Every structure is written in structure tokens, then in C-alpha cells.
Structure 1
Amino acid sequence: MSLDDTGRRAPATAQNALWSWTRDVPRARRRPISSAVSSAVKDSTAVPIAAGHTPGPGVGGDADTSLPVPPASGGQRSCSSSTPTAPQVRGDALRMLACVRVATARQMAQVITAEDADGRSYVRRAMRKLAEQGLAETNGKQGKELIWNLTRAGLRAVADGNELPARPRVGTGAKAVRAGFGPHALAVTETILAVGGRHYLTDWQVEVNHAIKETGLTFNTDAVLNVPGKAAEVGLYEIDNGTMSRAKLAREVWDYERYAGHRVWEGARGTIGGTFPFWSRYRYTRSSRFPPLHVVLAGKEEHLLQRRLEALAAAVDGIAVSVFATTLPALQRREGWVRLGTDHPDRRRERYPEPVGR
């Protein structure tokens, strides 16, 4: 993210850490994959997967949560620049799919190995082995590429290692792919890779539900990035693959203002009490402002995406939450975001009625 939740540029250290690619880092910095991971990918049973992260600087001094750094590609191979071993590829594939849910061999090779075409062949062999072990499966194609996801056994293998945050209700993505939503799911994965590559990959969650029971408001955010640190940096990401109407897309963006504007009353009986934003009390408790929303447009030719972006800007004019938008091709070229809305807590408080106390 080049902008924080207030629209200002993020600190240089955090911004560089989030956007930089690490394929040219010497292999000496890599931590060898643990024996637990090797056991998980060699044994047909779902053995817990241990951490395989590379220690490094993180936001706020926390440990780096990226996947292990792949060796540099090209040139002569040596002991300091070689292809990851088969167990390493399988272990990294399990971790990546546990985070992004679905991916093709090309997308996984982009993160796991330093090679392009050769990298895909390594990943394909690894995925076939994981499928034989019952840890991964494929339920559709994107062109000629198979779409891969973990099975329930694969999710348990990752969860039992306590490497990723607890996600008891996370799905495998298989139903979505079989239902024909594979292109949208892959666009979400493509966005995650374009935003930060392998950096903070394990801090992404996909299909995150936001609901307020009192008002009946409920919607799923395609992807949420929660960067670790003393003050958590949270980013909300909505990916439009060109399949919904412009009006529906605008309504989905306005849902975020309605969610941010809802307040709850708190106070003991017999006291005056007070009201507080629902999101700050029950969802993003470490964030000082409502997290910024990033809308990524994909699935069409770029000139059509630009028209769609212009229409969205007009439809959400005056929205009182931070909203940024771009197209997926522009994001992959590292171009800047277009601001569509600014965070205004006072304006939200005027628009949405206060809850009645006891």
C-alpha cells in the first residue's frame, strides 16, 4: 500500500517492505525448511506443518511473515543459487494456498520459485504429489492452467502447525471454483500478489465477513491485509472482475460507509454511558481509523476498466470512508491509486442515527 488509512503516504520503511520483491536475496539468508514440513509433504497423513519463515525486519519490529525467500534466477547455478527442493516447494504451496485459497501453478511459481516456465514445472510436480496425499485438489481450469486448492485435510495440516492465525471457518474454495467463480478467485490471488508479492503473504485473509446483526447489514470482503505491528495496518480489498453491474458495485462500496457509521451504546445501568463505532469495538480494535478500502477492477480490456473506474468515482462521490481504486493492470505496473473517498468520522456520525441507550 502506498497510502495509509488517512490518505497520507506510508512510512518509507513499511512501504518499501510491502512493495519490494525478494527474489535476488542471497540463499544464505534462507532458513532451511523444518523437518515437520518435510514430514508433512512426504507422509500421506496430515502431519502438522511447522513455520518456515525467513527472519527479517517487519513493521513495528515484528517478525517477518513472508514465505521463505526463493533463490535468484538466471545465470549459472551454484550452492548459493539453486532451485528449492521438492519438500520446500510442497511446504510453501501448502502455506500459500492456506492463505489465498486458490491459485494456478503460475501464481504459485511466482512466489515459491525464482524461475518462470521451469518454476511452473516444479510446482506442478509438487501439486500432483500433494493431490496423491489427499492434501490438495483441482476443481477447474483457467485456460489451460489447473486451479488448485487445499482439501480439508490440507487445511488441517497447516492449522495443526500453528503457523497461521486461527481460522476455524475458513473454506477450501472448491465449491466456488466448481460453481464457476474460479476467475474471480484467481483475480483476488493476482491482486494479493500484485500488492505485496510474498511479503506478509500469511497476513492475508480472503472472503472475510462483515455483519451487523441489529441492522441486517452483511457482506464479504474479498481480501483483508492485516500487517503486524504495534499499530496494526489493515487494508480492505474488493476485486471486481467485471461481472457485476456498475450500480451493484457502487452499492457494495457504500456498504462500507454504512458499516463504519454504525455505533453501539455502552454503559452500566443507571449511568449515562456513551456510543462508540461498532467496528472499533468489535472488529478492528487496534486501528485508530476505519481501514481504507481498495477497489481493484479486472476482467476486461484496460480502456473499459478505466471507464468503469470513472463511473464508480461518480457513483460514490461524497462517501465518508477512505476509498482508493485502480485497475489490476495498473496495480501490476506499480502505478498509483486513485482516491475516491476520504475518511470523515464526523460526517458519518451525522448521517447515521445514534443508538438509544437503556
Structure 2
Amino acid sequence: MAGWRGRTADVALVPAVGLVAVTGLVVQSRGIDTAAEWAALLTVLLSTGALYVRRRHPVPVGVVALVAIGAYGALLHRPGPIMLVFVVALYTVVDEGYLAVAIGLGLASVIAFAVADSYNRSPNTMNGATLLHAGWLVAVIVGVTRNRRAYLAEAQARAVVAEQRMEEEARRRATEERLRIARELHDVLGHHLSLINVQASAALHRPDPVRSEQALTAIKQTSKETLSELRATLGALRQAPTVVPAPGLNRLGDLIRTAAGPELKIRTELAETRSLPPEVDLAVYRIVQEALTNVARHARATTAVVRVRPDHDDVLVEVEDDGTGQPDSPGSGILGMRERARALGGSLTTGAQPDGGFRVSARLPMRPDPAPVGEQM
């Protein structure tokens, strides 16, 4: 819009200058009667019309205006209001950065002005009008040059600020991506390796062929899922497309079947939930995954309950167990779950239950409001 306003002002200035110049000519000549006066009028109109293209061709228009001054003075033997046309042309030449050309045009116009003014001057009078004209042109050139330098300095400062903001935005996005990939790697490796460890321990401590076969089968399936999710996560680092979709509610059943075992029964209470945005869907899966990892690693529980249900514009995720063990202090798993919730504008609470066991509860908005990187930590 600023460009259009500037262009409109440039165009509107031309008829205003032409009107002043023509009116000045009529007043100065007390009418248009002679052939010289008609020729001077044509000179004013032609030079004024050239101002329409002064932004695209500043130097040629400046030369045309200078020639018009000389022609006007030669025709009427005196300087006149056509000088206003030249001032506008000279202003444009300076504003477009042609300072040396502007100085040359200004000196030439002073000479033309002095020649035209000399026709009606007696030998004893000083050429004050010429000096006034010269001072006017110097003021125009100096003033416009100073303004142009200030404008260029401001534009350069804005460009530097814009570049800094782009760099900061790039660093912010890189930090967010590193945090996301770190969380993904922690959740994938932590969960699956914990399950593999639990199954392997069960097989070693209870050398029952049937249970050993079940444990080895579970280890095989878990390691397969680990490799699949690890490839998908590392594919993001290589910026390569992955054929493995991000997990969500649709894979919650597989997750629970993998986490459950002979010594841990997991019950699910899943209320019907409308389609979730991909980032919320993934967060629900990862929070349940990490909570079940902690159950297997710390809780020494026999049963666990996973609940997912909508609550107005939020989705609630709860994982409870009946175990007696719990982490002494929040580890990276709990911190990672909390970061996931906060990154979407949600919240997560954890703690022991009054009747025993441990509870993880997350509230995630179905329309996530991402938090700044600093708040995610």
C-alpha cells in the first residue's frame, strides 16, 4: 500500500506543478498573445508532461527540464515559473542517487537562469535573482542528499534487523526440531528397551520353556517395532521421506498388548474421541507409552489402567497402576511427558495415589496452542 500511495503522490504532483507553472506564465506575461509566449507555453506543457516518467528516467527528464529553462529564457528573455518544473526534476535526480549529475544540472541551470535574467538587468543592478536561484538549488541538493542517506541508513538497519530475526527464527526452529527428535528417540528407545529388559529378565529368572518362548517372541516383536520407529525418526534427521506413519490412538491397542505380560495386566477405558490433530494424537500415544514404561521399570505393579476421553475442547489421558514402587524424583521420562504437554499448551501431573500406586494425568487441547521454546523446558 505504501508503494501505491507513493506512486499516486508522484502522479498527482505533475498536474499541480503544471498548473502553477502555466498560471505563473500567464501572470508574468499578462496573457498569451505573442508567438513567443505561445511557444513558451508549449515548452512548459512539454517539460511538465516529461515529469510523469521522471522516476523511470530521472536523468533524461532532468536534461529535458534544463533545456526547457534555456528555451523559456530565450523566448521571453527572462526566467520564469518553469523553474519549478526543473526543481522537481532535479529533486528526482538527487533522490534516485545521481548526485554528480544533479550538481552538473544545477550549475547549468544557474547559468541559464543568469543569461535569461541578464536581458532585463541594467549594468548597475546586481543579479540577486540568480543568487537566490543558486541558493535554492543548493538547498534542494543538500536536503535531498541528507534525506536519502538517512533513508538508506534506516533501510540498511531494517535489513540487518530482518536478517537477525530470520536467523533467530531458524535457530528457534532448529532447537524445536532437536527437542522433538530427542523426545522421540527417548520415548522409542526407552520404552522398547525397557520392555525387552523386562522380558529377558523374566526368561532368565524363570527358566520355563513356555514362558521363555513367550518372552523371546515378545522381544522379537518389540525389537522389530523399535527398528521401525527408529528408522522413521532418523529419517527426519536425513530429511528423507518415511513410509512409517506417526503412531497415535489407532496404535494404542498394539502398544498395550506389547507392554502387558503374564505379571502385568493392562485395562483400557477409551471413550469415543473425535479425530485429533496429528501432533496431539502423537502426544497421547507417547505419554501412554512413557507411563507404561515407568510402570514396567519402577512400579512392580500387577494391574494398570489406561484412560483416554474427551473433556470439552481437551482430551484427558490417565495411566494408573497398583504398584508400590515409583521414581524417587522426576526423571527424563516424566520431564519428557511434561514437555510434550506444555509444547501443545496442555499440562501434566504425576504422583502417588492415596490408596497406593502411581498416577499420570495429562490434559491436552484438541486445538493445540504451541508454547515458545523457552517455556517447553
Could you state the TM-score of these two structures normalised by the residue count of structure 2?
Answer: 0.25
Which has the larger share of strand? 1
Which has the larger share of helix? 2
Could you state the TM-score of these two structures normalised by the residue count of structure 1?
Answer: 0.26
Higher relative contact order (CA 8 A, sep 6+): 1
Whose Rg is larger? 2
